[in-house]
A and B are shown apart, each in its own frame.
Chain A
Amino acid sequence: MRTLLGPKVEVRIPRKPEYVSVVRMAVGAVASKMDFGFDVLDDIKLAVAEACNNAIEHAVVPEGHPNEITITCCLEQHQLVVIVCDPGVHPPPEKPAAQQAPDDLPESGYGLLLIQALMDELTWEPGPSGTTVRMVKRLAR
Chain B
Amino acid sequence: MAGQNPAAPVAQQPAGRVEALFAELRKTGDPDLRERLIAEHMKLVRYLARKFSNRGEPLEDLIQVGSLGLLNAVDRFDPSRGTRFVTYATPTIVGEIKRYFRDRGWAIRVPRRLQEINQQATKAVDSLQQRLNRSPTIAEIAHTINATEEETHEALELGHMYELTSLDTELASQEQDEGVSLGEYVGAADSLLESAELRQRIEQALERLSPRERAIIKLRFFAGLSQTDVARRLHISQMHVSRLQHRALARLREGMREPA
Q: Which residues of A approach B to under 8 Å, CB–CB?
A: 1, 21, 24-25, 28-29, 31-39, 41-43, 46, 50, 90, 92-93, 97-103, 105-110, 112-118, 122-127, 133-134
> Given the interface contacts A37-B107, A99-B17, A122-B6, does A109 sit within 8 Å of B11 by beta carbon?
yes
B196 within 8 A of A: yes
A41 CA / B95 CA spacing, docked (Å): 16
Residues of A within 8 A of B43 (CB): 102-103
Residues of A within 8 A of B13 (CB): 93, 97, 100
Residues of A within 8 A of B102 (CB): 39
Interface residues on B, range: 35 or more
B3:A123 contact, CB within 8 angstroms: yes
B4:A123 contact, CB within 8 angstroms: yes
Residues of B within 8 A of A117 (CB): 90-91, 94-95
B18 within 8 A of A: yes
Q: B9 touches which one: A36, A90, A98, A114 (CB < 8 A)?
A: A90
Given contacts A35-B196, A122-B7, A123-B3, 19 further A-B contacts (CB under 8 A): A21-B150, A24-B150, A37-B197, A38-B197, A39-B106, A42-B55, A42-B110, A46-B52, A50-B51, A93-B9, A99-B16, A102-B18, A109-B8, A109-B10, A112-B8, A118-B94, A123-B6, A126-B1, A127-B1
B110's closest neighbor in chain A, by CB? A38
Report the minimal beta-carbon distance from A93 to chain B, rounded to whole angstroms: 7
- Top 5 A-B pairs, shortest CB-CB distance: A109-B10, A97-B13, A112-B8, A98-B16, A123-B3
> Given the interface contacts A25-B153, A114-B90, does A105 sit within 8 Å of B10 by beta carbon?
yes
A114:B154 contact, CB within 8 angstroms: no
> Given the interface contacts A123-B3, A125-B1, does A113 sit within 8 Å of B11 by beta carbon?
yes
Q: Would you list which residues of chain B between 1 and 41 have a CB under 8 Å from chain A?
A: 1-11, 13-14, 16-18, 40-41
Residues of B within 8 A of A29 (CB): 157
For the residues of B in contact with A, the DSSP-based class is helix
> Given the interface contacts A39-B98, A99-B17, does A116 sit within 8 Å of B196 by beta carbon?
no
B182 within 8 A of A: no
Report the minimal beta-carbon distance from B133 to chain A, rounded to whole angstroms: 28
A5 CA / B199 CA spacing, docked (Å): 25
Residues of B within 8 A of A24 (CB): 150
Q: Would you list which residues of chain B between 88 and 110 have a CB under 8 Å from chain A?
A: 90-91, 94-95, 98, 101-102, 106-107, 110
Residues of B within 8 A of A112 (CB): 7-11
Report the minimal beta-carbon distance from B84 to chain A, rounded to whole angstroms: 8
Q: Which residues of B approach A to under 8 Å, CB–CB?
A: 1-11, 13-14, 16-18, 40-41, 43-44, 47-48, 51-52, 55, 86-87, 90-91, 94-95, 98, 101-102, 106-107, 110-111, 149-150, 153-154, 157, 194-197, 199-200
Residues of B within 8 A of A37 (CB): 107, 196-197, 200
Residues of B within 8 A of A50 (CB): 51
> Given the interface contacts A34-B196, A39-B101, does A125 sit within 8 Å of B3 by beta carbon?
yes
A134 CA / B3 CA spacing, docked (Å): 9
Residues of A within 8 A of B48 (CB): 110, 114
> Given the interface contacts A38-B196, A102-B41, does A125 sit within 8 Å of B51 by beta carbon?
no
Report the minimal beta-carbon distance from A43 to chain B, rounded to whole angstroms: 8
A103:B40 contact, CB within 8 angstroms: yes
Residues of B within 8 A of A106 (CB): 10
